[in-house]
Amino acid sequence: MAKATKKQALGRGLSALLKDPSNDIKSVGDKNADKVVGNIAELELGTIEMNPFQPRSSFNEETLRELASSIRELGVIQPITVRKLAFDKYQLVTGERRFRASKMIGLKTIPSYIRITNDQGLLEMALVENIQRQDLDPIEIALSYQRLIEEIHVTQEELSDRVGKNRSTIANYLRLLKLDPIVQTGMRDGFISMGHGKALINIENTGDQLDIYEKILSKSLSVRETEALVRKFKSPQKKLTPLQKTLPRFANKGSRELSTFLDTTVTIKANRAGKGKMVVPFKNKEDFQRILNLIKSEK
Tell me the C-alpha distance between 184 and 189, whole Å. Answer: 9
Residues 6+ apart with CB under 8 A from 223: 193, 195, 196, 199
| 44 is a catalytic site residue | no
Instruction: Enter the DSSP assignment of 134.
Output: S
User: What is the side-by-side order of every strand in the sheet holding 40-44?
Assistant: 40-44, 109-115, 80-86, 89-94, 48-49
Sign of CA dihedral 126, 131, 133, 139: positive
C-alpha 195 chain-centroid distance: 10
Question: CA-based diameter of the chain, in Å?
Answer: 130
End-to-end Cα spacing for the chain: 129
Contact 262, 294 (CB under 8 A): yes
- CA angle at residue 97 from 120 to 25, to 5 degrees? 45
3-state SS class at 202: coil
**Which one from 96, 129, 158, 225 is the annotated catalytic residue?**
96
CA distances from 246 to 113, 243, 249, 251, 269 (A): 87, 9, 9, 10, 9
Tell me the C-alpha distance between 15 and 44, whole Å. Answer: 10
Strand 80-86 with 109-115, pairing: parallel
Q: Which residues are catalytic?
A: 96
